[in-house]
Amino acid sequence: MLDYEENPYNPNPVTKLFTTFLFGLTAFHQINILFEWGAVLLLSFIFYKNGFIRDAIKNITSFGLLCLLPNLTVIQSAHFILKMFLMLLLMYRIFYFPVTSGKLLVKTSDVGSVISSMDKLKLPRAVSIPVAVMFRFFPSFREERRNIKLAMKIRGIDFKNPLAYIEHVTVPLLIMSSNISDDISKAAETRCIANPIKKTRYIPLKVKFIDFLYTVLVLAILVGGLLW
Amino acid sequence: MVEIKNISLSYKSDEIVLNGISLRVEKGECILFAGRSGSGKSSIINSINGLAARCDGAIIDGDIKIAGNDIKNLELYEISMLVSSVFQNPKTHFFNVNTTLELLSYLENIGLSREEMDKRLSDMLEVFPIKHLLNRDIFMLSGGEKQILSIAASYISGTNIVVLDEPSSNLDGENIQIVSEMLAKLKNKGLTILVCEHRIFYLMDIVDRVFLIQDGKIINKYEREDFLNLSPKKLNDLNLRDNSKTKLTVPEISNEGNLKIRSLEFKFDTTNTGLSIKNLTLETGKIYGIIGANGVGKSTFIRCLIGVERKSKDEIFLDRKKLSKKDRLKMSSLVMQDVNHQLFTDSVVNEVSLGIKGVQQNKVEELLDNLELYDFKDRHPMSLSGGQKQRVAIASVVCKDSKLMFFDEPTSGMDYKNMIRISGLVKGCKSNDRIIFIVSHDIEFLNATADYVVDIKKFKKRV
Amino acid sequence: MKNNKKLTVKDLVTIGIFTVVYFVVMFGVGMIGMVPILFLIYPTILGVVTGTIIMLFMAKVQKPWAIFILGMISPLLMFSMGHTYILPVHSIIVMTIAELLRKAGEYKSFKYNMFSFAVFNTWICGSIMQMLLVKDRYLEMTVSTMGEEFAGSMEKIVTFPNMALVYLGAILGGIVGAYIGKVFLKKHFEKAGIV
């Protein structure tokens, strides 16, 4: 019945969050370049196996370009302003792995499994309900903003008077958000979200082989890269 | 099943919304609460499902018993295990992004096992064949599909009582028909159904009793036969819509006039469909009804006409002069379906004159007087009632005096009298150098208002 | 109403909604954060712009832990998007102080809510802090890429004492934002009846 495509190459969100944390360590401790490439290929492999082929390729090419950056001697004589912007790329280079791993987490996790993960991590209701609401509200917010912008365009409200502009966006947007907040809480209440019993999840959090493999590989890359 | 004893209900503003309501509903009955807007019929629904007291801060005196339990002693989630609710606006009243999870989230919260959930799901699919709606992004569903999903969710939850608050407000004829059939199936399964509505024709096959509500009191109770015998005139006097389905009597567009859409092409982001219009001609001084099922692209069509869809490729001429997107934007004004999007300022007067150069104060005041808004001129627009807000939006549109005027679903959820009033207002905007467009599902309203209709379905193309 | 001080489902939903609004606006203003040097005044601008959102939130939910939870979700989200653990750890400290300040004002005093927001607003400084912590590595790369002179001028700007100014800017921005929020609350939201 109703098969959620269980992809054997998609680690669960908990694994992906944990490895993102691990990758965060590379910002403070540089690891060997060969191991870095190992990490790039690993991330690209997971992207590829989850159907994000473009991200897999982009990952490899952009890391390659970032590696080339310090070798470009032309930069030395570039203009000061240009250098300032290039600085950003260097910053990106330092935080490359946590950022890419975070991208993998965001792109390959569906809402159901994220919510199951929060249960597994024993996050209190006070965190898991707001997070579930956020998934629900992001697309609504986009719709609301679009409608308000439409209304503003027709009324001829433009950025010529920035203060009035900000007021005219903020007010309806916040009022709409408050109204939707009331509606969503009613929806939540009528679905017994406040029920104190232990809840079940239709999409369980599965620990698959890939979760072990992926974690072990990331750990190996980090430890190997630091010791080499 | 449901027993209400002498309840009265008021909100913070001290205004008494319900006054001494008593009623008893037996198992398996279908009850319709009818009455004009603001009569208190929605409040009856919301006091039964517990939301009025627990979410909206209403103060309720008297007893409400559901299946023998006094709901005062129940937590909201316990009430929700007895009564499931379907709301007026399916757009905002859901909690998940995925349709299947939306159906199942109630079951997850009452702790059913996965096998049990699968069983209920396949049972539901037998009753309601909506497999095509499973496992989809709710934001990609049309309004009608969302409402179908809500009713399916109330069935899958397995409660014996379902309450519905104006469920047809945002639906087109076809979807109303589907909703009607779904409710009939629920009734056959022995569920108790309580519904409040203005549009009543689709309930006539299943309703057992009708309670007419006015000023917070039950002023009349009808058995099914007596209600069916009421004449359309009598119903309209009671502020109700017709009890049989109305036929559209407005002619199709005649393709004559001075506004020529030589071509208009637009591709939707999410599906491989689009709108493609060639040589459509409209005439100034007329009112055009834009019709078509939920999700066919009516709103997109008017966005293209207004000139805010960057991706639309169009060639549109007025009196042989080509109009760019910018030209059209300048000459357009719009009353949106949800007018909350278009109220920007802190008083009604400011709102009406916003963005218009050289408005004359006395003209604005005259306009407000006409729309019965003069007494509210210094109030914050957002603090007004739904109908008043809409009239403020209409006032601002009238004040802008545009060549192209658009109304998006202006009568959704309106009772008979208010619908006729809006019809009068729209017709009052008619002038020789202006074209008025109304997007609507409301056939009674279109019959009363439009000169021609344009069916968008004809322009839908696969690409 | 029993348990008046406990967060209800409605409050938790409100937290989720306002976090989205805050997050989107934060990213909107975030363009500034992408421009070198200007990112040092990003916290100030963020405070001015988001003051209305958070002050409205505080007016709506006058209960313990509300601001703390709202304030922790953004850094946790950014953490899962690849920021380092510095950001959430830094935020725990910031949000605890903000929560205590609200408590001192019994969750409804404007003055305390304003200070609470001013402190709240410094959480974003954590993202600049994490850059400072990788400074050595960063400078090394800057020297080899951009040359000594440029790296030297950068080193002078991004320092711990200057960070103190960034925090100060964040607090000032927060106070200004809170006052703007107060004006909007009076002018619009109270009249519209949503608080």
**pLDDT tens-digit map of C172-189:** 999 999 999 999 999 999
If asked whether residues A78 and A96 sit together in one domain, one would say: yes
Q: Which two tokens stand for residue C184?
A: 């909007």
Chain C residues close to B55, C-beta within 8 Å = 10
If asked whether residues A40 and A94 sit together in one domain, one would say: yes
Name beta bridge partners: C42. Answer: none
Name beta bridge partners: B460. Answer: B275
Query: Is the pLDDT at A127 greater than 70, yes or no?
Result: yes
B273-282 and B259-267 strand pairing: antiparallel
If asked whether residues A67 and A84 sit together in one domain, one would say: yes
Nearest Cα residue to C23 out of A152, B343, A177, A149: A177
Residues 133 through 192 of chain A touching chain C, CB cutoff 8 Å = 133-134, 136-138, 141, 166-167, 170-171, 173-175, 177-182, 184-185, 188-189
Residues 376 through 405 of chain B touching chain C, CB cutoff 8 Å = 379-380, 382-383
Chain C residues close to A80, C-beta within 8 Å = 150
pLDDT digits (tens, 9 = 90+) for A147-156: 999 999 998 8
Question: Is residue C2 included in any domain, yes or no?
Answer: no
Element (H, E) at B276: strand B273-282
ipTM of the complex: 0.90
pLDDT digits (tens, 9 = 90+) for C1-38: 444 688 999 999 999 999 999 999 998 888 776 666 77
Chain C residues close to A72, C-beta within 8 Å = 145
**Of A99, A131, A173, which is closest to C16 when you measure between CB atoms?**
A131
Residues 6+ apart with CB under 8 A from A169: A148, A152
Task: For chain B, say whether A160 makes contact (Cβ under 8 Å).
Answer: no
Do residues B222 and B209 lie in contact, with contact meaning Cβ atoms separated by under 8 Å? yes
Q: Does the distance separating the beta carbons of A136 and B95 come in below 8 Å?
A: yes
Q: pLDDT band at residue A5, thresholds of 50, 70 and 90?
A: low
Q: Does the distance separating the beta carbons of C16 and A133 come in below 8 Å?
A: yes
Query: In which domain, by residue range, is C103 found?
Result: 9-189
Question: Is residue A217 included in any domain, yes or no?
Answer: yes
If asked whether residues A20 and A88 sit together in one domain, one would say: yes
Show me where the domains of chain B are located. Answer: 2-237, 259-462
Coil, strand or helix at B254: coil
Query: In which domain, by residue range, is A96 found?
Result: 13-109+206-227
If asked whether residues A68 and A178 sit together in one domain, one would say: no
Four-residue CA torsion sign, A117, B79, A134, A112: positive
Chain C residues close to B382, C-beta within 8 Å = 188, 191-194
The residue-averaged pLDDT of B308-322 equals 91
Q: Does the distance separating the beta carbons of B112 and A191 come in below 8 Å?
A: no
Angle between helices A96-108 and C66-80 (to 10 degrees): 110
Q: Which two tokens stand for residue B30?
A: 């279908």
Residues 282 through 301 of chain B touching chain A, CB cutoff 8 Å = none
B192-196 and B321-323 strand pairing: unpaired
Coil, strand or helix at B318: strand
Is B2-237's fold the same as B259-462's? yes
Question: Is residue A144 included in any domain, yes or no?
Answer: yes
pLDDT digits (tens, 9 = 90+) for B323-357: 999 999 999 999 998 899 999 999 999 999 887 77
Q: How many domains does chain A fold into?
A: 2
Q: Does the distance separating the beta carbons of C141 and A90 come in below 8 Å?
A: yes
Question: Is residue A7 included in any domain, yes or no?
Answer: no
Chain C residues close to B346, C-beta within 8 Å = 187-188, 191
CATH number belonging to the domain at B259-462, selected among 1.10.10.10, 3.40.190.290, 3.30.420.40, 3.40.50.300: 3.40.50.300
Query: Is the pLDDT at B119 greater than 80, yes or no?
Result: yes
Averaged pLDDT score across all residues of chain B: 90
Please tell me the CATH code under which domain B2-237 is placed.
3.40.50.300
If asked whether residues A78 and A128 sit together in one domain, one would say: no
Query: Is the pLDDT at B373 greater than 60, yes or no?
Result: yes
- Whole-number Å distance between alpha carbons of B121 and B135: 12
Question: Is residue A164 included in any domain, yes or no?
Answer: yes
Burial level of C5, CB count in 10 A (0-12/13-18/19+)?
Answer: exposed
If asked whether residues A20 and A93 sit together in one domain, one would say: yes
The residue among B207 and A91 whose pLDDT is bigger is: B207
Query: Is the pLDDT at A137 greater than 70, yes or no?
Result: yes
- Whole-number Å distance between alpha carbons of B318 and B403: 10
Segments in B49-131 forming alpha helices (H): 51-54, 76-80, 99-109, 114-127
Q: How many domains does chain C fold into?
A: 1
B217-223 and B435-439 strand pairing: unpaired
